[in-house]
Chains A and B, each alone.
Chain A
Amino acid sequence: MTDDLPLAGIRIVEVAAGVAGPLAACRLADLGATVIKVETGDGDWMRDCPPFLADGTGSVFFALNRGKRGIRIDPDATLDRATLRRLVQGADVLVTDRTTAELGALGLAGVDADVCAWHPALVVAQISAQGKRGPLAGKPGSELVAQAMAGYTRYVGAGGQPAVRLGADVAGCATGIFTAQAVLAALYARRRGEGGQRVDLSLLNSLLAMKTVHLAAQSDPDAFEGPRVGGAYDPPERGWKTADKPITFAFGGAVGAEGRPGWTQFVAAMGLAKMLDDPRYDKNGRLTTGLGPKARELKPEYEEQFVRFPAEEVVARVREFGGFASAYLTHEELMREPQVAALGIVRELGQRGSKVPALGFPVKFGATPTALRGEAPRLGEHTQDIVNEAGGAA
């Protein structure tokens, strides 16, 4: 069965901490690669981030590092540097967030050349905070710093108020996904006759690639209208109130200039028939629902009726008439949704005698199996075994 995995036989060395590098290597492990996580000093800083599982492992550390084996090396010890070099020489892929200078100090000088002279078949995914070139090359960064620099914090919170971040670690997770792509694409090229190579990724670059809708919107718009150019100056968006929790919804949409019908029946069914003869409302809901330009202004008029019904009922009515809708669910509510169960999104994996829920590979393959493995390593847990396999002394 493991031979069927798309990355069966692929050996990855990860010298990375935090979110991006570990997430990428975890997903590549889900596809069948074997991953050795290399740590120095106190190890990956994520180890010390709460909350902690029953065995004391950080729950985020577990999620990003399950299924890997761990080695701890001392960069000042000649033998340790030689061990790491042998590990990399025997690997197909290096995933790292260390700089050129730091890699040199680990005994890996030259590994992040365009093509590694001492291992030309190696695929190197090198993650930085702000890019490999330029005036900020080599400077440290963070999730928060990347969000601020990429302008993301301008589109949550309110102008003149204390800054708000996106609560998800969007720079780290997006970079993890892009890093997994980079490795897969480079392995694909290698399979078709190319050699190895380095691929550069950065937290800031990922967020700007993911900002393409906003960048294009602000290029040279015919009018400064709509949420994509005006969003930074809009108030916080919190949906439409109902009897219990807020919802969001929209009519109009996907094909052509006119969108979908259904709005007229929906407003009639909700007791809002007065909107039908009101010139402020278009007749398909395109302007007054969702991201429509009049949606915020007219929100209270929808809410007059919405507050008489629970969110679930308003959402069901929107869907009944062909619109899109959802309540703003909490994560606990989401995990109770039959939809989440139907997709098999959450799996149970082992961690030192207990079972821990975990997310699997985020795509459902029709034919290719994945192999989700539990057990995140303790710091240096497999050092001796790995040293022995690499053929050297500890």
Chain B
Amino acid sequence: MFWLGKSIITKDGKKTGVSPIEYIIMAHLRSRERRNVDQAPVGQYGYELIKELNSLFEGSWVAKSGTIYPLLTKMDNDKDLLKAEKKKSPLGPIKKIYTLTEDGRHLIDSIIRENFDADKAFIDKYLALLNVFEPYINKKEDIVEDSSYLSDEKPRISNSKTKSKKKKPQGKESERFCPNCGENIQEISKFCIFCGAETSFTNERN
């Protein structure tokens, strides 16, 4: 499956060393070549490449220039999958054109050939999964609408990584008791999780 993980893997589990975004960039450039007259190699101006990626992923992902340009440079200098050439535009100014190298072309063709059926099958299954929701979304029934789940400012689902970094108090420190019901609360909170009374912590049970 092409959009998960650090590196694209083939159906046999072989790692290709190509990240999902790199894969998308290469597939996009390769599809342009395939569509071109006589399938002749053709590059693309970086600005336009980003614009077309944004059009492809509209509503689900934003290809930012700060993400894409460093990747293009890496694919040119380190991985030799792309070739960045400075070319004079019809208006005069020189701009960088990104074209697949022979290696890049062979690699993307191999990955697509290898994963084509599996990817298509996955997309069909994913569509079937989404289709289950369609009637509910259209009727606006049974779907809990709460925009706070999608809020940027204060997301309801916190990042588990940052949560796990918090050190839990060790030993006796972790024993905190509610002054009202006497239950062991353990975590620092303003209200008791058992009776709801306001807490002023004590390390001794009532």
A and B are partners in one complex rather than unrelated chains:
no
